[in-house]
Copies of this chain bind each other. A is one copy, B any other.
């Protein structure tokens, strides 16, 4: 084989018939196999995959007529809809970047993210006009805005290029989607921490295609519990502006399943749609699941067999139990904006051996790595800790679909990728069965005498004391141990407790091995109230600033 040694690094034919991993390639199978499958938007739209494909062509044509070309950024401000699904495909398939605007941010932050993304066109649902219109003068790069009007009867506001449906009606479905480099950026959106400006993450066509294949592989290969398949009916319950609704709309499309888009969320409308359209597969944050389960409309509804992946925050045992009691197949997943997002999924598999307590516990864990994901738990020198379910460290990962940095923020990008792994800033353990369990946020963990104490775990245990109403645990400086835990406790009205009572309460857990003796604090602050952020989370940053040097 003188001219073509396959391993000599010169692959003359390798690229001749290259097949780039582009989002458009996800459409081949469903269009060939399920052209008549349904896509439903509330009670307003019922269309087929064939129509989806036509409308993707029309949307690209309409955007092109507004001047959008490869490399441009198109932003969307909409509720979860078939239109959002169309933009998931049409915008990247043109070679442009889809910017999914977080409509829950403050107007200031929305303006910042739209401008920072470089969006030249924005599609705006009429519901967001009151917040959008005052921003326009702060968006000098914006050349066109498209109105999305569910009513179909609204007068065109000034400065809009047209209404979404009218523009699609005027465009041809025959837009030609060519091939280009699979490393072209397909999507971007902004994460919001508790401090600083929102940070933009971005994902390429290749990354989204690989995330779609690997996440689908993990979700479909379960033997029974948590098994997704081609006869499922899908409805998202996380907003489509947030990490592409966990990328599941791409998976649902590739699978060719019926898809149901709920518009603006309310627990009642989600229940109603789920029952009417026979939804079998969703995903959401714990708060939303809790609202869905507790709303009056859910009482009479038959929710059996509804598979719901919970992520975004830890899935509490109590919520998982409540869902299981309704016949919902609930289980956790883990990931973040920076990771496209899925890293692990907590299907139980055969490990629980039918024991309900183990089953419940496994469902609430972060779970097992999906294909191609390398998860490590490391100490501060990036050395692996033991996979014994007990040794904790920071969760760092590699996978083919991680953001390569934050847009225009090299310092934050370098910190994210220190040592060649993406740093999740989460603390976790891995047990002998490979289950990842997230125990704390890195910034909230307390480092004492070379050991780590989980503030989340201490808060959970102290909150079980009968007199405790609210509790926050922070780490404060300590000359001997580096840091020590300091609980801030709000007592229930009319109740009383003292340091010894709290210590005795925790001592019981230490005796059982639930926590270490060194996790029991020497001091407790009894306070009137605990400061929270605008979204209701305990403001540990503020508490630490106030108490770091000791009370």
Footprint of B on A, CB under 8 Å?
1-9, 11, 13-17, 19, 21, 25-26, 28-29, 32-35, 70-73, 95-97, 116-118, 181, 183-185, 188, 200, 202, 204, 209-210, 213-214, 216-217, 220-223, 227-231, 254-255, 349-350, 368-375, 398-400, 402, 404-405, 407-408, 413, 417, 420, 422, 430, 433-434
A231 to B222, CA, bound (A): 8
B417 near A17 (CB under 8 angstroms)?
Answer: yes
Which of B3, B209, B374 is A408 in contact with, Cβ under 8 Å?
B3
Cα(A373)–Cα(B223), bound, Å = 26
Within 8 Å by CB of A369, from B32, B202, B399, lies B32
Nearest CB in chain B to that of A28: its residue: B374
Q: Are A398 and B19 in contact (CB under 8 A)?
A: yes
Contact of A4 among B223, B255, B407 (CB under 8 A): B407
A180 CB to closest chain B CB, in angstroms? 9
Contact among B1, B9, B204, B399 for A11, CB-based, below 8 A: B204
Task: Please state if A1 and B405 are interface contacts (CB–CB under 8 Å).
Answer: no
Q: Known contacts being A11-B185, A32-B368, is A400 close to B220, with CB within 8 Å?
A: no
Given contact pairs A1-B407, A33-B433, a sample of 17 additional A-B residue pairs in the complex whose CB atoms are under 8 Å apart: A6-B188, A7-B71, A9-B71, A14-B204, A17-B402, A17-B417, A17-B420, A19-B402, A21-B210, A26-B372, A28-B369, A28-B371, A209-B372, A221-B228, A221-B229, A230-B349, A254-B371
Q: Assess A6 versus B372: contact at CB under 8 Å? Given A16-B404, A213-B217.
A: no
Contact of A29 with B408 in the complex, beta carbons under 8 Å: no
- Cross-interface CB contact of A33 among B19, B413, B434, cutoff 8 Å: B434
Residue of B nearest to A405 (CB): B13
Query: Of B70, B213, B413, which is within 8 A of A13 by CB?
Result: B413
CB <8 Å contact, A29 and B97: no
CB neighbours of A28 from chain B (8 A): 369, 371-374
A91 and B516 CA atoms in complex are apart in Å by 47
Q: Are B220 and A368 in contact (CB under 8 A)?
A: no
Are the CB atoms of B227 and A229 closer together than 8 Å? yes
Are A370 and B400 interface neighbours, CB within 8 A? no
Decide: B420 and A7 in contact? CB cutoff 8 A.
no
Report the Cα distance A434→B417, complex, angstroms.
44
Whether B398 contacts A95 by the Cβ 8 Å rule is no
Q: Which residues of B contact A4 (CB under 8 A)?
A: 407-408
Q: Which of B5, B25, B185, B216 is in CB contact (< 8 Å) with A6?
A: B185
